[in-house]
Amino acid sequence: MNMNPQNSNLLENLNIWLLIDDRAGNKSQILGVAKAFGGAYEIKDIVYNAVAALPNRVLGATFKTISSDTKKALTPPWPDLVISAGRRTAPIARKIKNLSASKSKLVQIMYPGPEGDDAFTLIAVPSHDQLSKAQNRMEITGAPHAITAKTLQTAQTIWADKFSHLPRPYIALIVGGSTKRKTFTSEMATELGAQAARLAKISGGSLLITTSRRSTDDATKALLQAVRDTPVNIFKWGDEGDNPYFGYLSLADHVIVTGDSVSMCSEACATPKPVYIYAPKDLIGRKHAHLHADLYAKGYAEPLRDDTTLSDWTHPPLNPAVDIAKEIKRRLKL
């Protein structure tokens, strides 16, 4: 694609499609990259059918994996740029490229597998996946997201007065839960709550706790029981009202996050505040362990241990979306 001024096809004139499916993590990563890239974009909501369960090496480049309504929304004029994430979007992106006679350039977040990966202009792969090098791949630390300094500043303005009755320092406690292969048990929740409560007591501060859709009722109850004597503000997944997640991150003096989610760990490190990762062996898989080691080595986070004490240290905000956006522009010669 020739992106020079002579053809007037500059950033502000690009036709950009975002392939957004039902996975919240995929959505946040795509939107983070799109916002960092700049320009207008069009969201294409992707609804799959049963065929999407087949492996990509069987599917090839196809629209056979999507609903009829989704297919109706994918029509000319074909986009200049497609940004997608996850294995299931890859056959759709490749089909768009084929229909556009290769006009559409494809950016994929996370490795979609070897089938047709040369169709993508850029594939952003997390370094903890430990994949081999390739000309159209770039390695990133963690996962892209849309949390910027401006996002945090706005959230701080909105939420500051709502927690002013609580003593500082504020310790944000970002809690995930069970994954496909690992269980966040009530015993883990009790241990995590006890460690956070200990740090709040020693520092004379309070906890700002939020749970996620993967936090089970039993684990949540165990966690809250462990912090019952601690000054706290709690927002449980499914609670009514505005979610204070961004407010917690913007106001926290320290952040504790469970290590079961690449996205949550990356978003926690989007703040320059000290970040501590709770990562018991029975909760963490191999790839997550590699991510944590990378974050520790690069100074973004420290492990949460029984003997952890709070200290004031900072790090550069982590946001791979900015790096991906820069690489897209470089490859498209913008």
Domains of the chain: 5-145+321-331 (3.40.50), 149-303 (3.40.50.2000)
Predicted TM-score (pTM) of the model is 0.89
* Residue 2 scores a pLDDT above 50: no
The predicted pLDDT at position 52 comes to: 97
Mean pLDDT for the chain? Answer: 94
The predicted pLDDT at position 9 comes to: 54
Q: What is the pLDDT of residues 219-276, one digit of tens each?
A: 999 999 999 999 999 999 999 999 999 999 999 999 999 999 999 999 999 999 999 9
4 band by pLDDT with thresholds 50, 70 and 90: very low
Q: What is the pLDDT of residues 71-108, one digit of tens each?
A: 999 999 999 999 999 999 999 999 999 999 999 999 99
* Range 314-317, long-range pairs (CB < 8 A, 24+ positions): 314/272, 314/273, 314/274, 315/269, 315/272, 315/275, 316/272, 317/149, 317/269, 317/270, 317/271, 317/272
